[in-house]
Structure 1
Amino acid sequence: MTRHLVALSAGLSQPSSTRLLADRLLAATSATLDERGVAHTTEVVELRDLARDVTDMLLTGFAPPRLADVLEKVRTADGLVAVTPIFSGSYSGLFKSFMDVVDPDALRGVPVLLGATAGTPRHSLALEHALRPLFSYLRADVVGTAVFAATDDWGANGSTYDSAGRLQSRIDRAGSELATKVEHYAGAAEDDPFGDVVPFAEQLGR
């Protein structure tokens, strides 16, 4: 069975450190799955490209085709990487708006890895007091290690240059944790609305 991983990047600029972190987390997860011989595909979704579509759905209740396609990919994903910039101590408005149009049951039991970026390390706790509660509310299976990257964690060419390698080490650990959950994820069970219906012949026999 081929696993499908989807990364959501809520970065607003191009290039974006948020997208960079999403790519690194996805690559770390993919590398671990490769080592374990688990077939998989990966895809990155830039939420900035869906901003107008998200607004339209919030106003009308209907998803434009492009957004509907992304929502279906999220619903059927075997693993999700979700990365947002931090503004005013919490996730971005774009990230929250997108999550508001995701079906409340779409992420139930889905393995999720959380990441965040900001200009200063002072925002690092937003992962725990903002993002983790959001995905817990959605009943996702969130990995224990979340990854925060401040501006100073990136080199000029996008490489990690913290002297102790702490960021890359955390990325690798988080990717390994997500890979483990993805490897054992059974997939979303389709609810059968008629699964509990008693056959007519059996009803007559009662």
Structure 2
Amino acid sequence: LTARLRTQVRRKRYNDQLRASVTQTIEMAVTDGLTGLHNRRYLDSHLETLFDRAVARRRPLSVMITDLDRFKSINDAHGHDGGDDVLREFARRLRKNVRGIDLACRFGGEEFVVVMPDTEGAVAEKVAERIRAEIAQVPFAIGADGKTIEVTVSVGVSSVLKGTDTVASLMKRADLALYEAKSGGRNRVVAKAA
């Protein structure tokens, strides 16, 4: 009886560890390790669903693409550790300024995407402006010595259009708006209606 009990306890521990390992692997597959936000793979698989749901229910949906201004110069001046500190802090501030139902993802490098279900374009633009202002107003701490640097962000916003809109065109409009924000002097929000 004791031998069987030990075997069953050992088997249960092994199964628990296996379950935890699988859960951790799945989490790592959809989460950006540096920022803790969802990654691009997760965005690619869920944006289509959110888009289709919004269109089917005739509900608004907005997308915001953010890009940290002159991020390469941050990495050059403060090393990749300093750049990583900035990315982590930006992700924290981004999470703080969006709702729980919003999908915040690291798109790649210093670009982040937020998908906002049930959000009209004008509201999404206000949220983007609030995020932009907070990033610009409060310096970012880098390193253990408490040094701070100024960081700004450019943001492009687009919303689902009535009719024959697609996920690709929604993202393209947001990307064009971001490009316009960057070429217009950075540290600004541009919303593309069409």
With normalisation by structure 2, the TM-score equals 0.30
With normalisation by structure 1, the TM-score equals 0.29
Larger helix percent: 2
